[in-house]
Amino acid sequence: MAQTNTSKRSVTASDTKAIRQFLCDHLTIHRRPRATDRKSAGKAISELYRIAEAQEPVILFCKNPADLGLLSTTILLALRSGRKFRTWKSLADLIKDKQWHAIISDLRKQTTLKKLWSSYQNDSDQTNNRKSPTRTLSLYTNMIFKEDFIAKLRNLTAKHADADFSSWIESPLKIDFRTAEVWENIQLNETETLALNDFTFRGGYFNWKPFVLSAFPEFQNESEPFLRQQQTLATWTELDFQWLFLHQALLSHYGRSVYSENSLRLIDALSALESSAYACIFLNGLCIVSDKPTTLRYDNSHRLHDERRPAVAFARGNGLYALQGICLSPLAVTDIQAYGIDAILKENNITTRRLLIERYGRSKFIIDSGAKIIHSDEFGVLYRKEIPHDEALQIVKVINSTPEADGSYAHYFLRVPPFMERAKQAIAWTFGIDEDDYNLTDQS
């Protein structure tokens, strides 16, 4: 049994350097595909439920995190409806979709639906009245943790691991996370987490909500509140456990004697889950787990990025499409022209909308969107396009005064600030000179 070291020590500069390097290396690992280990993940999840003093869960595995929302929603509604779904096939028949049937096919190999329901039907008197509205609502609400499961794990980490290390050192550990390498990795991981969480919550790119609501028409009137509640479930992805990484670094550098048995038990279980699975939804008596991605693609700045294929691909189903770390719809990546002007203008996020305009091509966007010509002269043409909730897009079209080899003259579209009023003024601004000092000979 591990015991905490009773002697205190100071944290040296070499200690800090080694811990910082571990963090940097560990964060980098997340940008490489890692194999899923369902057996290890299952053991880790069971251990975490025991540590949290929660009911031992039935564990279901999916191949794609986008399946988590669809599966959890269907199970919760099936439980709440009071209908008698005795087999996976009875659930499969609810939704006429190949992806859904593939999910159920995987589940049938893992466990029976009877075993899942048994977690919520222990009372024989309740079982006899299963169709009672009170009974079915009780079953449904019992499936939702009253306390956020992930928050509870964080609190336990603070109670045990944080306290152990704080009592072991003479002064607080001070690591400057703003150093270039560590901070860059933390920022990249946070951006990636947001993109992947968005992908998971939206069910990938498959609009499964109409399918689910057609299967449970009795919940049509309350569908939106319910589906919003689904996004508040205790959902975790491997990148969400950055608060664990520091303890992994300390454990690697100082050894296991720093921590008590309770701390080691928690850190070991969290570490095993983080390394063996990608995402989970934690429910009372049920944990739904997603396998890790099979492929990760990045640009030179280490952001999720691919201009033709999913930046994050999974063994089955849709992958996540992204450019420069921003999660996008597949059509926006593979065929921006088909994605269209209207869809670009409806994008609420300013950064995403600007990225889409750049991908569409500023000059083509200005022409195709019907931008207004606010001024033209012998120097060029100044266009303006009003953008919802953003500054106006202003582009000046310039004709190169030097002819090409074939005798034609090249046209250039240059972005200029929205306060420009005249074409000549805008062109002069691109050269960094005053309007009065600019002449056509500069335009070559």
The per-residue pLDDT for range 304-322, each reduced to its tens digit, is 899 999 998 998 878 889 9
Bigger pLDDT: 100 vs 48? 48
Bigger pLDDT: 441 vs 178? 441
Q: Are residues 191 and 244 in the same domain?
A: yes
Q: Are residues 245 and 391 in the same domain?
A: no
Q: pLDDT value at position 143?
A: 72
- Of the candidates 276, 266, 275, 197, which has an alpha carbon nearest to the alpha carbon of residue 232? 197
Q: pLDDT value at position 234?
A: 61
Cβ contact 226:268 at 8 Å: no
pLDDT tens per residue, range 241-274: 667 878 888 888 888 988 999 999 999 999 999 8
Q: Are residues 124 and 270 in the same domain?
A: yes
- Quote the CA–CA distance of 114 and 137 in Å, as a whole number: 19
- The answer to the question of residue 142 being in a domain is yes
- Of the candidates 347, 175, 245, 345, which has an alpha carbon nearest to the alpha carbon of residue 30? 245
Q: pLDDT value at position 332?
A: 93
Cβ contact 356:231 at 8 Å: no
Rounded to 10°, the helix 13-29/242-254 angle is: 130
Bigger pLDDT: 174 vs 313? 313
pLDDT tens per residue, range 146-155: 778 888 888 8
- The answer to the question of residue 356 being in a domain is no
- The answer to the question of residue 196 being in a domain is yes
Ramachandran class of 203: left when φ > 0, alpha when ψ lies in -120 to 50, beta otherwise:
left
Q: Are residues 425 and 277 in the same domain?
A: no
Q: Are residues 312 and 336 in the same domain?
A: yes
Q: What are phi and psi of 321, to 5 degrees?
A: -95, 135
The H-or-E segment that residue 47 falls in is: helix 38-51
Q: Are residues 320 and 291 in the same domain?
A: no
Cβ contact 30:258 at 8 Å: no
Cβ contact 317:67 at 8 Å: yes
The H-or-E segment that residue 107 falls in is: helix 98-108
Please report where in the chains the tokens 């811990």 appear, as a residue: 19
Least confident of 93-107, 129-143, 213-227, 259-273: 129-143
Bigger pLDDT: 305 vs 162? 305
- The answer to the question of residue 127 being in a domain is yes
Q: pLDDT value at position 226?
A: 59
Q: Which domain holds residue 317?
A: 297-351
| Model confidence, pTM | 0.78
pLDDT tens per residue, range 371-407: 999 999 988 999 999 988 888 999 999 887 777 777 6
- Quote the CA–CA distance of 63 and 71 in Å, as a whole number: 12
Q: Are residues 190 and 302 in the same domain?
A: no
- Of the candidates 326, 244, 429, 303, which has an alpha carbon nearest to the alpha carbon of residue 31? 303
Confidence of residue 327 (pLDDT cuts 50, 70, 90): confident
* Arithmetic mean of pLDDT, 190-195: 69
End-of-domain residue from the set 231, 262, 295: 295
Q: Are residues 377 and 287 in the same domain?
A: no
Q: Are residues 71 and 30 in the same domain?
A: yes
Q: pLDDT value at position 376?
A: 92
- Of the candidates 44, 42, 115, which has an alpha carbon nearest to the alpha carbon of residue 75? 115
Q: pLDDT value at position 305?
A: 92
- The answer to the question of residue 163 being in a domain is yes
* Arithmetic mean of pLDDT, 26-54: 89
Q: Is the pLDDT of residue 176 over 60?
A: no
Please report where in the chains the tokens 């002819």 appear, as a residue: 403
Q: Percent of the chain at pLDDT above 90?
A: 29
Q: Considering only CA atoms, give the Rg of the chain.
A: 28
Q: How far is CA 201 from the centre of its chain?
A: 8
Confidence of residue 123 (pLDDT cuts 50, 70, 90): very low
End-of-domain residue from the set 295, 322, 342: 295
Bigger pLDDT: 24 vs 131? 24
pLDDT tens per residue, range 411-424: 888 999 999 999 99
Q: Are residues 169 and 158 in the same domain?
A: yes
Bigger pLDDT: 15 vs 6? 15
Q: pLDDT value at position 310?
A: 92
Q: pLDDT value at position 140?
A: 55
- Of the candidates 326, 330, 168, which has an alpha carbon nearest to the alpha carbon of residue 256? 168
pLDDT tens per residue, range 265-285: 999 999 999 899 988 889 888
Q: Which amino acid is at 151?
A: A
Q: pLDDT value at position 124?
A: 34
Structural domains of the chain, count: 3
Q: pLDDT value at position 375?
A: 93
Confidence of residue 144 (pLDDT cuts 50, 70, 90): confident
Indicate the average pLDDT of the chain: 80
- The answer to the question of residue 358 being in a domain is no
* Arithmetic mean of pLDDT, 134-152: 66
DSSP string, 262-305: HHHHHHHHHHHHHHH-SEEEEETTEEEEEPPPSEE-B-TTS-B-
Q: pLDDT value at position 133?
A: 43
* Arithmetic mean of pLDDT, 117-137: 49
Name, in order, each residue with C-beta under 8 angstroms of 350's C-beta and a sequence gap of 6 or more: 389, 390
Q: pLDDT value at position 302?
A: 80
Q: Are residues 205 and 341 in the same domain?
A: no
Q: Is the pLDDT of residue 129 over 50?
A: no
Q: Is the pLDDT of residue 86 over 80?
A: yes
Q: pLDDT value at position 249?
A: 84
Q: pLDDT value at position 207?
A: 67
Strands 286-290 and 58-62: parallel
Cα 79 to Cα 68, 85, 118, 142, 295, distances in angstroms:
16, 9, 11, 10, 35
Sheet of 279-283, strands arranged across: 58-62, 286-290, 279-283, 234-237
* Arithmetic mean of pLDDT, 115-127: 57
Cα 217 to Cα 100, 211, 214, distances in angstroms:
18, 10, 5
- The answer to the question of residue 365 being in a domain is no
- The answer to the question of residue 8 being in a domain is no
Q: pLDDT value at position 65?
A: 85
pLDDT tens per residue, range 65-80: 888 878 888 888 887 7
DSSP string, 54-99: -PPPEEEEESSTHHHHHHHHHHHHHHHH-----SHHHHHTTS--HH
Q: Percent of the chain at pLDDT above 70?
A: 77
Task: Determine the 3-state secondary structure of 328 from DSSP.
Answer: strand
Q: Are residues 177 and 304 in the same domain?
A: no
Using the Cα atoms of residue 212, residue 213, residue 214 and residue 216 in order, give the sign of their dihedral. positive
* Arithmetic mean of pLDDT, 89-108: 89
